[in-house]
Amino acid sequence: MKKADLLEWLKEGNVTIPSVLLTQYKEMRLNEQELALILHVFYFSEKGNEFPTPTELAARMTISAFECTDLLRSLIQRGFISIMDGNSTEGIRYEKYSLEPLWEKLFDQFLLKRQQEKELVEQKEET
């Protein structure tokens, strides 16, 4: 192992996600494959590819591009991911995935859970 290898590793960097996504995805009716797909979409976007193809996504997953297309469609239909229009600086229109609906749902879920915990505490105090 050489120092150059370590520097390359450092350059790859990290992915940082809100902890709540990890602790609450199940409550939001997402399974582990869907969580992983979301992480891939998020990471591709961070690296500048805002509309990765199912082939690109599936290349990093243990599912086929066809299955990936189905998963993406399902996530869009259930309101976790949306497709947005953008205009490049050269005026060319393009499409991109947005995870805004996911963050919004996640925050709602977070508020709901806090509310439930409060009510639980109040019930205990009453008895």
Amino acid at 39: L
Q: Give how far Cα 68 sits from Cα of 36, 37, 74, 106, 125, Å.
A: 11, 8, 10, 22, 48
What is the contact mask toward a copy of itself in residues 5 to 44, using x (rule: CB under 8 A)?
Answer: xxxxxx-xxxxxxxxx-xx-xx----xxx-xx--xx--x-
User: Cβ distance 41 to 81 under 8 Å?
Assistant: yes
Q: Binding a copy of itself by CB under 8 A: which of 28, 51, 56, 61?
A: 61
- For binding to a copy of itself (CB under 8 A), which residues are involved? 1-3, 5-10, 12-20, 22-23, 25-26, 31-33, 35-36, 39-40, 43, 48, 60-63, 100, 103-104, 107, 110-111, 114
